[in-house]
Amino acid sequence: MVVMDDCVALALCRHGLTEANKKQAYLGWTDSPLCHQPSPLVTTYEGFFTSDLGRCITTLQAFFPEVKPIQLSELREMHFGDFEGCTYEDLKDLEEYNQWLNHYKEATTPNGESFQQFVKRVDRGWDKMISEVKHNHWTRSFVVTHAGVIRHLLARFAPDERAYWDWNVSHDFYYELLFLKKAFEKGERAFSLKKVSI
């Protein structure tokens, strides 16, 4: 039987819908305003983390107006380099874009970040969150970040093992992972995952 005192919950939430998201543009380190202000959430969380990009900070402040989150640049979306702000229609005839689409784990966007650089960076951010959670004895933490970051963390830590692109990450719900405390601190998988509507 699982005793809840021995557990750590971590919610992974994508930032609110942006103008660039509506156009389906690649939005990595470039920012774009939210289409509308999200409504506050009723909170049972103690720790709060966010990517240091404006769309994430604005979303977290809208959800939890009284909170001062820990901002981590490691939780940024992948840097898409020269593809930033462009759509599939803009790029579909470029050879280097098609190379990247077909071999995204090996190819790097021009002047951007490789997939391996991206996941190593996100993993460093995860380690920082673990340290903060441990240090502050938090049992429930809320993270506002980006779709790519969430996909990577779910592929790595969700109880149900799925590939990176098999995870659906939307603006209208978030995922909450539940870990045994020791498993969380060792970087092992969660034992429970639920979707929470926003």
**Segments making up each domain of the chain, as ranges:** 4-197
Span 99-114, average pLDDT: 92
**pTM for this one?**
0.94
CB 16 within 8 A of CB 198: no
| CB count in 10 Å sphere of residue 175 | 22
| Residue 165 DSSP class | G
**Distance (Å, whole) CA 79 – CA 124:** 16
**Distance (Å, whole) CA 185 – CA 29:** 29
What is the fold of 4-197? Rossmann fold (3.40.50)
**Distance (Å, whole) CA 106 – CA 120:** 14
Q: What is the pLDDT of residues 86-97, one digit of tens each?
A: 999 999 999 999
**Distance (Å, whole) CA 97 – CA 191:** 38
Half-sphere exposure of 137 (CA within 13 A, CB side): 1
Between residues 1 and 196, the one the model is more confident about: 196
Q: Answer whether residue 141 shows pLDDT above 90.
A: yes
